[in-house]
Amino acid sequence: MKGIKKINRGLILTVVVLLAVITYLVIISIKINKMEVEAKSFLETFLAADEKYKVIPDEYRDDYEGYLKKIEPEMRNYFADDGAYEYYVENNIHSQYRKNNFYKTCRVFLQDAYESSYNNGVFTMQYLIGINGTLDFTKQENESFRNSYVFSFKQIDGKLKIYYLNYCIDII
């Protein structure tokens, strides 16, 4: 009789633990699916702004600091902290000034989503980003780029913000 009670307690404990783990995994899965939808919508808005500011107007081609002041009010709102924003500026705006290769036209769009993960309140998602445009120098008129961004998001005040942005570009 005592053996059966011990087996029953063990069985009940096992079932309770399994139900807790399954419930946790279902909740995380639902949260990730919801965040994927939110992230895609957020990224489409972000990339539209990114596209708009990649084409640096002629009057700002010699005024890097002035251009940063112009774009900062809108673009900084997409980022969770200064580090993420500064990385974005360095790799998307400053690189044009550094190389003196400015976009005449630019189109930025999402191509494919890869894996996503959720860990310690940070949602990470990798996207292949397409950039088509013409650059303002004579040796190459049209460029196609294959870019991938790895975005990590944090929820701040109930909204997704870019927490980390890793950027990679290949000219095709």
- Model pLDDT, residue 140: 45
Q: What is the pLDDT of residues 114-138, one digit of tens each?
A: 777 778 778 888 777 777 777 665 4
pLDDT digits (tens, 9 = 90+) for 20-39: 999 999 998 888 888 888 88
Provide the residue ranges of all domains of the chain, joining segments of one domain with +: 37-171
From residue 33, alpha-carbon distances to 14, 36, 41, 115, 142 in Å are 28, 5, 13, 12, 37
Domain 37-171 has CATH 1.10.3720.10: no
DSSP code at position 104: E
pLDDT tens digits, one per residue of 148-163: 677 888 888 888 898 8
- Residue 2, pLDDT score: 66
Give me the residues paired with residue 170 across strands: 146
pLDDT band at residue 11 using 50, 70 and 90 as cut-offs = confident
